[in-house]
Each structure stands twice: as C-alpha cells, then as structure tokens.
C-alpha cells in the first residue's frame, strides 16, 4: 500500500497550520483516502470533557487543542495518545520544556509513533510546532527529522507583516536540503488586510513551489464548509 505522508510547517506559530490541516484531511477523505493527523510534539494543554469518563473517575482530561482537532478530523479512529505521543502542559519551545521537565525528546520516538499510524492510514499529515527550525532538543530541530524521513513538505504562509521574508527563507531551506515542497497555502489570519493581494503576488514572484490555494479569513473554524475552500490536494 502506497502511503502518502506530508509534513506541515509554517512561517510562524499561530498562523493556521492546524486549521489548514483539518481542511486537507477532510478533502483527502472525500477522495477516498484513509486519513490521519499526527502531532508528535505539542505544548500548551487545556481541560476538555473526558469522553471516556465512564471508564475512569476523571471527568476531564488535559489535551492539546491542535492534536484534538487533528483527531476529530481524521477519517480513521486513533487514540489521542497515538496522535500526540509527546505533550507538555505549558506553551513554549519543545527543547526548553523538554529540559525543564526532564523529558527527553528522541527522534526515533517520533518515527516509531508515525510507523504505528502508517499501519492504519494511507494519507497522513504530520504537523510540526511553530516554524521550520523549531528545536526539539539542543541538538536537533523539527527540520532534522523531516530530512531523515524525507517527508514532502507543505508550507502554510500566514498573511501578515513579515510573512514574505519568512516564507522565502523557509522554502529556500527546504529546497536546499533536497526536500520536496509540494506547495504553499496562503492563509488570511486577519479579517481585513488591504495588502493581501500584494503579499500574494510578491510571494508568487519569489516562491518556486506551487500555490495550492488561498484560504479566506475564517471567523469560526469549528464550522468550515470545505466545498467553499479552494485548495488543491497535494500529490
């Protein structure tokens, strides 16, 4: 079975990687794929009602919102732990939280978690944390793992001041490491930006990878009509 695996990175943190991933997962499902989201490392957790509370005394559980969204939008059933094997309560870079909590992050563990999901799914989105060079230890960044696994990369560009520089540098790094950037997606993270069209035209002049789509500002990300979101499914 051919398994498609894509690593989703972004020009910054909080630019819509998870929202875009949820849309792509739904679109891939409509094409008949067995889809799965994978968030190997997360930081920042909130209390959610425990849907399995009848099996334990805990009415609530601490989970990462991004991982929860990926779980909810995967077409196959995966436990929360399968989707997000490494998590931290606070919101900070993984290498710092790893050091503070004495919880070493090993690249081999990221790969072993992915291998388990690959037994159930044939279309997998792996979501990073922050940007391309987010460190997972004082020796490795997320990009080092991508190079080892030779993932195809999807670049999410949050349309805002500074995104042009960040997008160009990120793509250059991806390509310089002989990786494939299957495309980039422009995400309008603010309701109004009079320079949006200029940002996108400038990026089209500099970014070599194809534009997969432009996502409008989404006020309510819990209720997204994917038929109205024009994004090409990466290949």
pLDDT of residue 227: 84
pLDDT of residue 1: 73
Please report, for the chain, how many H helices and E strands are present, in that order. 8, 10
**Rounded average pLDDT per 10-residue block, the chain, 235 residues:** 94 95 97 97 86 55 93 96 96 96 96 97 97 96 98 98 98 98 97 94 98 93 84 93
Q: The whole model's pTM is what?
A: 0.94
d(Cα 58, Cα 52) in Å, to the nearest integer? 9
Residue 6: which of 28, 172, 42 has the closest Cα? 28
The residue to which tokens 């080092």 are assigned:
144
Please count the CA atoms within 13 angstroms of the CA of 189 that sit on its side-chain side. Answer: 20
Does residue 86 contact residue 39 with C-beta atoms inside 8 Å? no
pLDDT of residue 235: 87
pLDDT of residue 222: 76
- The one catalytic residue in 4, 26, 29, 39 is 39
- Catalytic residue status for 81: no
Phi, then psi, of 53 in degrees rounded to 5: -65, -20
pLDDT of residue 51: 52
List beta partners, residue 157: 186
Structure letter (DSSP) for residue 195: T
Residue 3 in 3-state DSSP? coil
- Domains belonging to the chain, first-starting first, are 4-228 (3.40.50.300)
pLDDT of residue 55: 45
pLDDT of residue 220: 81
Residues in the chain: 235
């Amino acid at each position: 079975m051919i398994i498609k695996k894509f690593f989703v990175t972004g020009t910054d943190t909080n630019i819509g990687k998870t929202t875009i991933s949820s849309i792509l997962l739904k679109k891939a499902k409509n094409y008949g794929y067995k889809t799965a989201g994978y968030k190997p490392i997360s930081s920042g957790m909130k209390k959610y009602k425990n849907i399995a509370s009848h099996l334990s005394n805990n009415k609530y559980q601490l989970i990462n919102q991004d991982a929860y969204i990926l779980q909810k939008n995967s077409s196959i059933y995966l436990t929360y732990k399968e989707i997000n094997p490494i998590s931290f309560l606070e919101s900070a870079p993984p290498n710092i939280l790893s050091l503070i909590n004495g919880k070493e992050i090993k690249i081999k563990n990221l790969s072993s978690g992915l291998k388990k999901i690959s037994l159930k799914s044939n279309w997998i989105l792996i979501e990073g944390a922050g940007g391309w060079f987010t460190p997972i230890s004082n020796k490795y960044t997320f990009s080092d793992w991508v190079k080892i696994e030779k993932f195809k990369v999807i670049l999410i560009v949050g349309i805002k001041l500074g995104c042009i520089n960040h997008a160009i540098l990120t793509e250059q790094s991806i390509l310089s490491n002989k990786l494939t950037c299957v495309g980039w997606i422009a995400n309008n993270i603010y309701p109004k930006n009079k320079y949006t069209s200029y940002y996108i035209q400038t990026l089209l002049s500099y970014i070599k990878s194809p534009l997969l789509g432009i996502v409008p500002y989404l006020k309510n990300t819990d209720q997204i009509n994917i038929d109205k979101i024009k994004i090409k499914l990466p290949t």
